[in-house]
Amino acid sequence: MFDKFRMKIEKNTIVSLRYKLTDAQNNVIDEPDSPMVYLHGGYEGTFPKIETLLDGQDIGYEATIQLEPNEAFGEYDPELLKIEPRTRFPEPLEVGMQFEGVPDAEEDESADDPDEEPLIYTVTDVADNQVVLDGNHPLAGMALRFWVQVEDVRAATDDEIENRHPEGGESFSFGMPNEEGDDGDDDEFLGGAIDAGNTGPRTLH
């Protein structure tokens, strides 16, 4: 009789999902110990193809699905590769560090859009006088495979639906952190270094 009361995944449910992320050659990219939690139903908590896969499923469901680049983090854009003077950056500077901002904002018409999120640039090379930055997501251009297993499903609260993410907003959706505390001050290119270890994906818009 318990199964009759088991909630299925549908719009406005909170889903706890265990997952393993690999590339197309099955090399493991991410396999966290704790599940990721997201609000199901088109709130950008995870990729649309994964939401479609999970729709109508319940606790215990597991599957493996492949996402092509255009279904995940997009194709690699060589125009997002930048070379900047090293003097613009704080020291010590290391490959792998990340900075949030929009270089050459005066040339970017989208910079005038208040809804436009600044790109996150990763330092890929450091020379004496120059720094090479890549604004592509680290997984851009890659086909990805996700193994997923539904650990829990519950109804979302009114607050969670209004806020468009699970309570607390601390969860990561396949490495895509929920937007917390929009700091309007970080529109400078050097608005702040991001934890070099956090190479996780960002929410797609």
102: CATH: 2.40.10.330
Give percent of the chain above pLDDT 70: 71
Task: Retrieve residue 188's tokens.
Answer: 């400078």
∠ CA 185-187-193, nearest 5°, is 85
Label residue 20 by pLDDT band (50, 70, 90). very high
Query: 124 in a domain, yes or no?
Result: yes
Asked, for residue 18, whether it belongs to a domain, the answer is: yes
Give residue-wise pLDDT tens across range 174-203: 544 333 334 433 334 444 454 444 444 333
Lowest mean pLDDT among 5-14, 59-68, 142-151: 5-14
Does residue 4 have a pLDDT over 60?
no
Q: Are residue 158 and residue 82 in the same domain, yes or no?
A: no
One domain for residues 12 and 68: yes
What CATH number does residue 11 fall under?
3.10.50.40
Mean pLDDT of 30-48: 92
pLDDT of the residue at 142: 95
Residue 121 CA to residue 77 CA, distance in Å, equals 13
Cβ 174 vs Cβ 47: under 8 Å: yes
Q: Is the dihedral of CA 134, 137, 142, 147 positive or negative?
A: positive
pLDDT in tens, 90-126: 888 899 898 886 555 444 444 455 556 678 899 999 9
Check residues 139 and 185 and name the one with the higher pLDDT.
139
Assign 9 a pLDDT band (cuts: 50, 70, 90).
very high
Answer whether residue 36 is part of any domain.
yes
Query: Is 196 part of any domain?
Result: no
Looking at the fold, whether 82 and 158 belong to one and the same domain comes out as no
For the chain, the domain total comes to 2
* Helix/strand/coil for 87: helix
Domain with 90, as residue range(s), is: 78-134
Residues 121 and 163 in one domain: no
> Average model confidence (pLDDT) for the chain?
79
In a domain? residue 200: no
| Residue 197 domain flag | no
Asked, for residue 185, whether it belongs to a domain, the answer is no
Q: Report d(CA 199, CA 194) in Å as an integer.
A: 9
